[in-house]
Structure 1
Amino acid sequence: MPKAIRYTLLSLRDLAASAGPFIVLAFALLALAYWWLDPNPPKRVTLATGPAQSAYEEFGKRYAKALAAEGIEVVLRPSEGSAANLQLLREGKVDVGFVQGGTSDYTEQDEEDLASLGSLFVEPLWLFYREDAARKVAAAARTGKTKASQAAGKADPAEDASLSSLTQLQGLRVNTGTPGSGVPSLMAKLLESNHIDPASLKISRLEQTPATVAFLGGELDAIVFASAPESLMVQMLLQTPGVKLMNFAQSEAYSRRFAFLTPTRLPRGVVDLAANIPPDDVRLVASTTSLITRTTTHPALQQLLAQAGNEIHGGAGWFKSAREYPNRDNSELPIAKEAERAIKNGTPVLQRYLRFWVANLVERMWLVMGIIIAIMLPLSRIIPPLYAFRVRSRIFRWYGRLRDIENRVENSGDSDRNSSKNKALLEELNDLERRAEKITVPLSYTDELYALRGNIHLVRRKLQRL
């Protein structure tokens, strides 16, 4: 092996040995920080959606597609609806779920275990009724008003085959959905505010799909559910002949009575401009649906879900303007920090140029890496002295033997001159010189090696003068 390469490898070996403890400590701190921060999220998350053909189910599929692009599998778990989703979250059976405002009462424990990833969209309370049922209500009202008019000598009132008040539902067959949907709880509050005894209605609790089949078959007079307009069921019922959507004429009053309700309006012709569906503006009341997560859900997953929400819900719709949602308003639970940052600032700069897992790793580790560098930088100053000591030790350790030989030379008496003892000392010096000639050190330390060899010659000359 050429001497230049040998010297280089030797120098690198000494440097690696000197810096080894420092490097091990640095990697140990990085490993500890990685374990503590846990920057990379799990590859699987469970999302509670809702009934078949509901808006929750449709949005769940969009979230699954959005996260699949980042290598995250979203397991969609169907449920009865909002209230069922909240219960699944409380029990820890799902990681995230769609929950409608006003369908449940939150506890102090919920505020510790759950957090909101933002308000996503409004869900109007859709109360569809059959026109023939409305005509029966109108006929009954007309009969009562006719008798009153005849008694007062007035003309008969004109027929009105439409419903605009919950009080008109009395006596009708109304489906309010399963308890897990949260709609029965919401309807109970609205009926109570109208001083309506639920017993005055023929209430059923069928799931959305069988209830719609029964409604279209004439077995029900009205059907109530809360859903985003993207729901296939909503789209179908809005365009079904003989089915009308109740106009909440008191929508403003409902919003003042219930903080979780918002007055909204379905514009004329928004469903089908050519067919002019609906033929008039329809006033509705709506609650805001949020994406709720457990606080134990990985922060990176929370961030990714919130970013997906920006893409999925950020466009204009029937009841919203572009970029109006997601937002941090109307939230009944604290907003998760990751979601707040995503809603406010959008996609982080690094994620626009790097894969999510790389950008996420850098974002979560950079501060810790800065701290580690601040700790290790002062410690790194011991490496050069340690390296110098390691190289010089290969030379200095022979000085002990040389000093011992010199002491014995100085202690030799006249009687010992030219004796076998001096010959033995000379042989030791020759052996020490042979060993010194085999010492290999980096070129920058050869002056010390030659100094050792020169000192050996000095002791030899002293011995030869005896």
Structure 2
Amino acid sequence: MKRTSPKVEKYFLKSAKDEFLALLLFCRHQWYVVVAIVLAVGLALYYVSPFPPSTIRVASGQPNSTLEKIAARYGEYFDAHGVRVEFFTTRGAAENLQALRDGKVDVAFSQGGLALSRDESIVSLGSIGYQPLWFFYRGERFKGEDFVAFLEGRRISIALPGSGTRPVVDALFGVLPEVAVNRMRKYEMPAGESIDALLAGEIDGMFLLAGIESGNAQRLLRRSDVRLLDFPVAEALTRHLQYTEVVTLPKGALEVTPPRPEADVHMIATTTTILARESLHPALQYLFMRASTELYQSEEVFFERAGGFPAFTERHIPRSEVAQRYNTHGPPMLEDYAPYWVASFFDTAWVGILALIAVLYPLLRMVPSYRKTMFNIGASFKYDQIFTLARESETVGSLRELDALERTHRQLTQEVEETWVPKGCNQSYYFLVGSLELARERLDLARSRLVPGTPVPERGRSTQALGAKTGSM
């Protein structure tokens, strides 16, 4: 005879069903515990707020600028992660910062050196690259050592107030002799107009703070008739402008032959910095750090930095806790295995998650034993009712009373048949069914006593056995 082995999947399905019903039973009878747990979890989720907004506002600077191009790359990265970026156009880094202060944007691409106090609820997400201060000019190449004397008397565009170029130029002029600065013929013009004026011969030179990828910078770097001013004392200037560093454009970097530039060009440079409101969702702060790291690693970097980017290069700007943790400890452990907001949530709230598990685990452990406990409690009440029914059947004195007892027995039988029997309680259930059978036999004996000649149904049990089992109820 062929034997059929039990199906493993059926066993697990039954176990899963038991666990689900046990949980429902627990929720029904211990609702106050469930409500307390739900409130605790709800408050924890409200406080931690794991779900970031799907839209973010970013100040990107003026068209064709370094900041606009960088912001566009971040916009593509965020879009790939389901976050829509709304760009806010300004005249440059200074206006970007002001838009952030005014609450018009959530994040601003700015630059080092801009005045920012610690009580403005603005934090740094790190610097992501250099922006050199270029001076483009036309005419004979400057070969001397005194660049200040070279600039005296020349028509120079110093950019517009609110642009990123202007604060650095003003700071540079602040360390130069006032008499020499006053001899320069300065014009306040936007970058695009300055380029047009330079190429048309209306001005002699222009300052431009920009990364090499800037459209404005590239427009001039491609022109063989436009030169770059070398700052021979660039290292000394960084001592006065402490938020700047020296970068060098090597000889022949633009064209190898004939070499352009004709010699190494030394410049001071500030950094492109991502600033955010302190209230920006931690997951979005983390996504900025992740984008900064991946974009830096995947793109060609012209002006390298020891240690690379992103990095905290300024001491006077408060640092984001999320960014600080990312730079110090690296990316979250779930970065490669979960959506960015899940990785960020676990990284920031893992202590709270472990504490919640420590509270919930004992309660969840109660559910399997709780189902047995509740079944046994219910069975105990049924045993009491059946025992009372059997005892009353021995002393019943009329058919009317006996009919009432039989109705009670039928009701108990129906309730027992509809009872959910959790795993591990089969034996108790069979005892309960057996007790009902014994009570049925007692009722049959009572009817034969009240109505002489009524046959007693054969139920496979002797009166002696009945008495023994009845005594055990």
TM-score bracket, normalised by the shorter chain, equals 0.7 to 0.9
- How do 1:157-236 residues align onto structure 2 when only pairs under 5 Å count? 164-197=146-179, 198-236=181-219
Distance in 2 (CA, whole Å) between partners of 1:194 and 1:365 is 51
Contact 2:127 2:310 (8 Å CA) reproduced: yes
| C-alpha spacing 1:11/1:96, structure 2 compared with 1 (3 Å) | closer
Instruction: Show the counterpart of 2:259.
Output: 276
Q: Deviations over 1:141-169 (max 9, x none)?
A: xxxxxxxxxxxxxxxxxxx6768422432
Distance apart, 1:115 and its partner CA: 0.9
Work out the CA distance in 1 between the residues paired with 2:233 and 2:20. 84
Letter in 2 for 1:118: G
- Output one character per residue of 1:260-306: Cα deviation in whole Å (capped at 9) or x when no partner: 12122211111222331101011111122211111111111111111
The aligned residue for residue 56 of structure 1 is 67
Quick check: 1:78 aligned with 2:62?
A: no
**What TM-score comes out, normalization by structure 2 length?**
0.78
Greater relative contact order (CA < 8 Å, ≥ 6 in sequence): 1
CA distance in 2, matches of 1:8, 1:252: 74
Q: Which moved more, 1:363-372 or 1:49-58?
A: 363-372
- Residues 1:255 and 1:38: Cα distance change in structure 2 (over 3 Å): same
Residue of structure 2 in register with 1:437 after alignment: 413
d(CA) in 2 for partners of 1:11, 1:176: 77
The yes-or-no answer on 1:428 pairing with 2:414 is no
Structure 1 residues without counterparts, runs of 5 or longer? 1-6, 135-159, 411-419
Pick the aligned partner of 2:57 from 46, 58, 61: 46
Structure 2 SS opposite 1:274 = coil
In the other structure, the counterpart of 1:151 is none
Deviation track 1:61-110 (CA, whole Å, cap 9, x = no partner) reads 111111121111222222111111110111111111122112x2222323
Secondary structure at the counterpart of residue 108 of structure 1? coil
Equivalent residue runs for 1:387-466 within 5 Å? 387-390=372-375, 392-393=377-378, 396-397=381-382, 399-400=384-385, 403=388, 406=391, 421-438=397-414, 439-440=416-417, 441=419, 442=421, 443-444=426-427, 445-454=429-438
User: Identity across aligned pairs (percent)?
Assistant: 26
Letter in 1 for 2:336: R
1: CA distance between counterparts of 2:301 and 2:384?
Answer: 88
Structure 2 unaligned residues grouped into runs of 5+: 1-13, 451-473
User: What SS does the aligned partner of 1:97 have?
Assistant: strand
In terms of mean alpha carbon deviation, does 189-198 or 217-226 score higher?
189-198
Give CA-to-partner distance per residue, 1:202-261, whole Å, 9 cap, x none.
221111001110111111122112111111222232342443222111111111122112
Q: Distance in 1 between matches of 2:233 and 2:313?
A: 23
Per the normalisation by structure 1, the TM-score is 0.79
Provide the C-alpha distance between the structure 2 equivalents of 1:83 and 1:234, rounded to a whole number of angstroms: 19
Change (3 A) 1:307 1:425: same
Instruction: Identify the residue that residue 130 of structure 2 maps to in structure 1.
Output: 122
Confirm whether residue 336 of structure 1 aligns to residue 336 of structure 2: no
CA distance in 2, matches of 1:380, 1:121: 51
1:15 to 2, 17, 22: 22
Who is 1:96 aligned against? 107
CA contact (8 A) 2:124 2:318 kept: yes
2:246 pairs, out of 258, 263, 270, with 263
Q: 1:232 to 1:323 in 2, by over 3 A?
A: farther
Alpha-carbon distance in structure 2 between the residues aligned to 1:223 and 1:248: 14
Over 3 Å counting, the alpha-carbon distance change for 1:66 and 1:283 in structure 2 is same
Whether the 8 Å CA contact 2:389–2:439 is kept in 1: the answer is no
Q: CA separation in 2, counterparts of 1:357 and 1:332? A: 29
Which of 366-375 and 396-405 deviates more? 396-405
SS for the counterpart of 1:351 is coil
